[in-house]
Amino acid sequence: METPARTESTGSAELPFDVFARDCPSRETLEHVTGRWGSLTVGALYDGARRFNELRRRVDGVSEKMLSQTLHALERDGIVHREAQPTNPPRVDYELTPLGREIAERLLSLIHFVEGSMNPVLAARQSYDATRGGR
Amino acid sequence: METPARTESTGSAELPFDVFARDCPSRETLEHVTGRWGSLTVGALYDGARRFNELRRRVDGVSEKMLSQTLHALERDGIVHREAQPTNPPRVDYELTPLGREIAERLLSLIHFVEGSMNPVLAARQSYDATRGGR
DNA sequence: CGGTATCCCGGCCGATACTG
DNA sequence: CAGTATCGGCCGGGATACCG
C-alpha cells in the first residue's frame, strides 16, 4: 500500500496532482467517483459484490447504458473489479478493489452526512426561497 | 414554526432520507456538493472566505455563469454563506457555513485521497487500455 | 441474464454582451 | 468588482432495439 502522506492544506505545491488545476487527470477520476451515477454505484458496491441487474435495482433510476458506462469508467480507473463467469446464463459480479473500498469509505462518510443533514438543508431552502421570492 | 424533535445526527438506524431512492431530495444536495464545480468550490472555500473572482481564479476553468450558479445552489442549501458589502467597488465574500465546513472536511478527505491515488489509477488505465486495445 | 448500438432530446455549460 | 441575460453547441443520458 501507499504511504499516507499527510497533506491537508490546500494549495500545497508538494503534490504532483492538484485537482484545482484544469488539466490535472485527478479531476477526471474525481468526477467518475463523485458523478451523478458514480457516487451511487460506488456506494452501492460497498456492501459487497453485486451483479449487473442487482446493482441496477439498487441504484434507483439508472439506465442500463449509464450503469454500463459508469462501471466501465470505474473499472478503467482501477476502482471496480469486474468478474465474469462463463456460465449459461452468464453471471457477472462487480466489486470494489481495495482502492475502491478506500474511496467508498470516504464517499459514504459524505453521503451519510448529507442524508443526515437534510432537515437543515430543507429549512435553508425554504428560508432562501422565502427571502428571494421568485428571483 | 414547529420543529421536529428528531435529531439530524447520524443514527445508524433507518434514515428518513435515502440517497439511493430516486425521489429523495438528498440526491439533489449530494449532486450540488459532488458536482463538477460544486466539489471544487466547496473545497476551495475550506481555507476561509473568498471573493467571487478570487474563487474563480482558484477553481481553474470555471466560467462566471457556472460559478454563480453553483454558489447560488450551495447558498440555497445552507452550505455557503454570502456576505455583500455595499461599498464601491462592491465586495462580496463567500464562506462556508458550519454545515458546509463539515461537508468540506469529508469532501476534502475524498479529494486528497483521490489525488494521492492517481499513480495507481493511471497505471490501471494503461493496463485496461492495453487489454482492450483502445476500443 | 448481461450487455452493446443507435437515435435523439433536454439542459449543462461556455462565450459574449451588458448592468450597477 | 460582481454579477445577469441571452444564445448556441455539445453531450449526458433515456428509450428502444438488438446480440451472446
Q: Are A34 and B39 in contact (CB under 8 A)?
A: yes
- Which nt sits closest to A55, CA to C1'? C2
- Which nt sits closest to B88, CA to C1'? D1
CB crowding A85-105: b at 16 or more within 10 Å, else e: eeeeeeeebbbbbebbebbbe
pTM for the predicted model, two decimal places = 0.89
Spatial distance between the Cα atoms of B104 and B111, rounded to a whole number of angstroms: 10
- pLDDT at res. B72: 95
Q: Is the CB of B52 under 7 A from strand D?
A: yes
Give the mean pLDDT of A102-129: 96
Q: Which of A97, A121, A122 to mutate to test the interface with B (most CBs of B within 10 A)?
A: A121
Q: Which three cell numbers, joined as nine digits, stand for B4?
A: 421536529
Bridge partners of residue A91, in order along the sequence = A85
Residues 6+ apart with CB under 8 A from A46: A96, A101, A104, A105, A108
Residue A91 has pLDDT above 90, yes or no: yes
- The chain A residue lying nearest B12, using CA atoms, is A112
- H runs (alpha helix) in A1-135: 25-34, 38-44, 52-58, 64-76, 98-116, 118-132
Q: Which of B75, B118, B122, B135 to mutate to test the interface with A (most CBs of A within 10 A)?
A: B118
Q: Are A39 and B34 in contact (CB under 8 A)?
A: yes
Spatial distance between the Cα atoms of B93 and B112, rounded to a whole number of angstroms: 25
- H runs (alpha helix) in B35-117: 38-44, 52-58, 64-76, 98-116
Q: Is the CB of A132 under 7 A from strand D?
A: no
Q: Is the CB of B92 under 7 A from strand D?
A: yes
Residue A74 has pLDDT above 70, yes or no: yes
Residue A83 has pLDDT above 90, yes or no: yes
Which chain B residues are Cβ-neighbours of A129 within 8 angstroms?
Answer: 76
Residue B21: how many other CB atoms lie within 10 Å: 12
- pLDDT at res. B133: 58
Residue tagged 454500463 (cell numbers): A68
Nearest residue by alpha-carbon distance to C1' of D14: A63
Nearest residue by alpha-carbon distance to C1' of D6: B65
> Could you read off the pLDDT of A1-54 as tens digits, one per residue?
444 444 444 444 567 999 999 989 999 999 999 999 999 999 999 999 999 999
Integer angstrom CA distances of residue A32 from B22, B49, B59, B121: 20, 28, 18, 12
Separation in Å: C18 C1' and A89 CA: 62
Contact assignment for B114 to A30 by CB distance below 8 Å: yes
**Considering CB atoms only, which of B21, B109, B115 is closest to A26?**
B115
* Mean pLDDT per 10-residue segment, chain B (135 residues): 44 77 93 95 96 95 95 96 90 97 97 97 94 63
- pLDDT at res. B116: 97
Q: Which three cell numbers, joined as nine digits, stand for A48?
A: 459487497
Q: What is the DSSP secondary structure assignment for residue B82, as one 8-state letter?
A: E
